[in-house]
């Protein structure tokens, strides 16, 4: 690859550091610290949501920052307009991640117009968050530098599998010639490796690394379903006097 950011992430892990509205960890400094911890663990890049979080993280880590701005929670909400994209780039993101689906955008621009407009003002890479093979093909045509499977299972064109959509990753890799970032519901190291084996250029993991409430829920659910099997010592009981 010919771009230093693409060189940096080749075959590597990107960690998405996001807290959601109303959550205790939703604070730019907190997310920047989470990003620092991910870098210590070997993250080659981090993905961060929100202008303040991007700005705080860019100065806190020495790896590329993939920035996005979620505005809303339905339809096109990941960096939905050119104005959002420029703000993310202004905050210092090295890569601007934006909705890469074929759905209408709130400002009426096409994806190609959005990418071209961003390039007029900023020297950044663009990651298109796609939900299907057709999205990825169109996003490549529109000028995206990186194709992500971020929206597979969220835009209505692919099933929402419990794990990553490995089939889609392989299809995009076969049909396109841009780096493909596997993202979405990669919950285990084995799934990350499987995404890489399916042809992903890099693998992005969020929830399983940086969302403690969800991870805690996985454990509490497992315990709620678990029953002691034979041979397990019984819990001590209080001796009667």
Ligand X SMILES: CC(=O)N[C@H](C=O)[C@@H](O)[C@H](O)[C@H](O)COP(=O)(O)O
Contact residues: ligand X, CB under 6 A = 16, 18, 68, 150-151, 154, 183-186, 204-208
With 0-12 / 13-18 / 19 or more C-beta atoms within 10 angstroms meaning exposed / middle / buried, residue 163 is: middle
Q: Which is nearer to ligand X, 81 or 150 (CB)?
A: 150
Q: 179 vs 48, 195, 229, CA distance in Å?
A: 20, 13, 47
Which three-class secondary structure state does DSSP give residue 4? helix
Q: 78 vs 69, 114, 166, 234, CA distance in Å?
A: 6, 13, 22, 51
Q: Residue 183 Cβ, how far from ligand X at the closest point, in Å?
A: 5
Q: Which is nearer to ligand X, 121 or 217 (CB)?
A: 217
Q: Residue 237 Cβ, how far from ligand X at the closest point, in Å?
A: 42
Q: Residue 163 Cβ, how far from ligand X at the closest point, in Å?
A: 10
Q: Which of 53, 39, 49 is nearest to 8 (CA)?
A: 39
Q: Which is nearer to ligand X, 133 or 164 (CB)?
A: 164
Q: Which is nearer to ligand X, 109 or 151 (CB)?
A: 151
Q: Residue 47 Cβ, how far from ligand X at the closest point, in Å?
A: 6
Q: Residue 144 Cβ, how far from ligand X at the closest point, in Å?
A: 16
The residue nearest ligand X at its CB is 206
The residue whose two tokens read 């399916």 is: 198
Q: Which is nearer to ligand X, 72 or 121 (CB)?
A: 72
Which three-class secondary structure state does DSSP give residue 126? strand
Q: Which two tokens stand for residue 156?
A: 């209505």
> Which segments of 91-146 does DSSP mark as H helices, in order?
111-121, 133-142
């Amino acid at each position: 690859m010919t771009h230093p950011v693409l060189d940096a992430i080749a075959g590597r892990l990107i960690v998405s550091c996001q807290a959601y509205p109303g959550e205790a960890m939703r604070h730019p400094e907190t997310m920047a610290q989470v990003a620092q911890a991910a870098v210590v663990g070997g993250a080659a890049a981090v993905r961060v949501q929100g202008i303040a979080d991007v700005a705080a993280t860019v100065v806190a880590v020495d790896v590329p920052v993939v920035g996005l701005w979620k505005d809303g929670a339905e339809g096109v909400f990941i960096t939905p307009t050119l104005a959002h994209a420029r703000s993310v780039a202004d905050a210092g993101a090295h890569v601007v991640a934006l909705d890469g689906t074929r759905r209408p955008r709130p400002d009426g621009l096409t994806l190609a117009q959005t990418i071209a407009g961003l390039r007029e003002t900023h020297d950044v890479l663009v990651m298109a968050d796609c939900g299907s093979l057709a999205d990825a093909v169109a996003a490549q045509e529109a000028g995206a530098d990186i194709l992500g499977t971020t929206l597979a299972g969220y835009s209505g064109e692919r099933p929402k599998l419990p794990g990553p959509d490995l089939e889609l990753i392989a299809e995009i890799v076969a049909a396109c010639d841009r780096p493909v970032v596997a993202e979405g519901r990669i919950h285990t190291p084995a799934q990350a490796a499987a995404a890489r084996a399916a042809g992903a250029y890099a693998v992005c993991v969020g929830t399983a690394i940086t969302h403690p409430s969800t991870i805690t829920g996985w454990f509490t659910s497992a315990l709620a379903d678990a029953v002691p099997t034979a041979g397990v010592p019984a819990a001590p009981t209080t001796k009667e006097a």
